[in-house]
Structure 1
Amino acid sequence: MRIFIFGAGYSGRAFARRMAGRAEWIAGTTRSEGKLDALSRDGMRPVLFDGAAPSPEAQALLAGTTHLVVSAGPQNGEDPVLAAARETILAAMPALEWIGYLSTVGVYGDHDGAWVTEDGECRPSAQRSTERLKAEAGWLDLGRERGVPVAVLRLSGIYGPGRNALVNLAGGTAKRVIREGQVFNRIHVADIAAALEHLGTRGLGGIYNVTDDRPCPPQDVITFAASLMGVAPPPEVPFEEAALSPMALSFWGENKRVSNAKIRQTGFDFGYPDYETALTRMWREDDWRGEPDEIRTTRRKLV
Structure 2
Amino acid sequence: MPPTAAPTTSFDANERTAWAGRADVYAATFGRLCAHSTPELLNAAEVFAGTRVLDVGTGPGTVAAAACARGAEVTAVDAEPSMVELARRAAPAARVDLAALPELPYGDAEFDSVVANFVLNHVGRPLLTLAELRRVLRPGGRLALTIWSGVPAPGQALIPQAMQAAGAVRPPHLRPLDPADDFPRTPDGLAALLADAGLRHTTCRTLSWDHHATADDWWAGPASGVATIGLTFLAQTPEIQSEARRHYDRLAAPFRTPDGTLALPHTALLATGSK
Tell me the TM-score normalised to structure 2 length: 0.44
Tell me the TM-score normalised to structure 1 length: 0.41
